[in-house]
Amino acid sequence: MHPIFNGLLISAVSIFKREKTLVMLGLLGFAIAGYAAVIMFFQGAVVLPEGNIQNVFSFAAALGIFLLSIAAIFPLAGFTTRMRKVVRRLNIVAASYSYAIETLQNFRGFNPRFSKAGSLVDTLAGALFGVLSLSFVIGGILLAVQFLKMKAPLSRPILITGIRYALLSVFIANLAGLMMMSLQGRFTTAGGNYIVLHGIGFHSLQTLLLPAWLLEHSNYRQDRQRLLLHTGCIAWLMAILLIAVQTGLGRSMFEVDLFPMLASLCLLVWLLTAISALMCAFKIRCKD
């Protein structure tokens, strides 16, 4: 087995042993998404009057990926035993309710957040959904503060640097989520869609951590690792900020305009650094 795959396997086993509940909840998301995909294939996505099984699929898969990513970085945070339990429980409670309400309401035909066709119970359930979603925001802030206040020398400097950038991006994604709550929807005036910013921000937990992990396991000099990592992370963060500006202006990210073009350029820079990390980790090209 290639050393990279061996390292991934060892990391996965270690994560599962330390954070079994978060890992199982993450895998539950994939199971729900798989079930939703089967239902869509045979019955279609729309459930009248407001339900949409496609939303169940995308939400469950995204939340599953998020929980697995949190489980991966959680042991590195250095929380006290008490604080570790608090942050873990915030995520577990919020994730459990989120899975339930998103799945059940859409299958019943109601909007799980802002139902206009449901009863008072459905409205209250949606309001509780919004309140519990704040647990993800609080947990993300606590994690970000914990990683940002770490002092040198760091145990795993490359990976922790990537985590810091990722959690800053997650903070912006959470702001987008709060905007959607205040708007009671994802759209702004003309074509702005906060779900794009929300999704890309949260996926930083994969797009920035994986290159950091690959660089950590490469044979690049540490200064070269830092240069590639900072370049890629800053490019990704700049893309998110440009998307935020475009969305705030009420414009779509999928139109030919200055900010989408600049964001695409930043994402291209990130992609090149990620490919470099991947190539070096697999010893395709590792020369300084």
pLDDT computed for residue 5 by the predictor = 65
Residue 149 has pLDDT above 80, yes or no: yes
Q: Are 98 and 63 in contact (CB under 8 A)?
A: yes
pLDDT computed for residue 143 by the predictor = 95
My answer on whether omega of the bond before 112 falls inside 30° of 0, hence cis, is no
pLDDT computed for residue 2 by the predictor = 58
User: Assign residue 44 a region: left if phi > 0, alpha if psi is -120 to 50, beta otherwise?
Assistant: left
Q: Rounded distance, CA 77 to CA 66, Å?
A: 16
3-state secondary structure 227-243: HHHHHHHHHHHHHHHHH
Structure tokens at 258: 């200055």
Closest CA to 195 of 180, 181, 182: 180
Tens of pLDDT, residue by residue over 228-256, are 999 999 999 999 999 999 998 888 888 88
- Could you give the percent of the chain with pLDDT greater than 90? 73
Tens of pLDDT, residue by residue over 169-221, are 999 999 999 998 888 888 877 678 899 999 999 999 999 999 999 998 888 88
Tens of pLDDT, residue by residue over 69-102, are 999 999 899 999 999 999 999 999 999 999 999 9
Q: What is each CA distance from 49 to 44, 70, 115, 211, 222, in whole angstroms?
A: 14, 35, 10, 43, 56
> How confident is residue 4, by pLDDT bands cut at 50, 70 and 90?
low
Mean confidence (pLDDT) of the chain? 91
pLDDT computed for residue 3 by the predictor = 66
- Could you give the percent of the chain with pLDDT greater than 70? 93
Q: Rounded distance, CA 191 to CA 197, Å?
A: 13
CA quadruple 268, 262, 204, 288: dihedral sign: positive
Structure tokens at 191: 């074509």
User: Assign residue 187 a region: left if phi > 0, alpha if psi is -120 to 50, beta otherwise?
Assistant: beta
Please name the amino acid found at residue 6.
Answer: N
Residue 288 has pLDDT above 50, yes or no: no
pLDDT computed for residue 220 by the predictor = 81
User: Which comes out higher in pLDDT, residue 7 or 118?
Assistant: 118
pLDDT computed for residue 187 by the predictor = 81
Tens of pLDDT, residue by residue over 11-25, are 777 777 789 999 999
Three-state SS at 47 = strand
pLDDT computed for residue 285 by the predictor = 47
Closest CA to 139 of 87, 86, 206: 87
According to DSSP, the residues that pair with 187 across neighbouring strands are 193
pTM for the model stands at 0.91
CA contacts within 13 A on the Cβ side of 8: 11
Please name the amino acid found at residue 47.
Answer: V
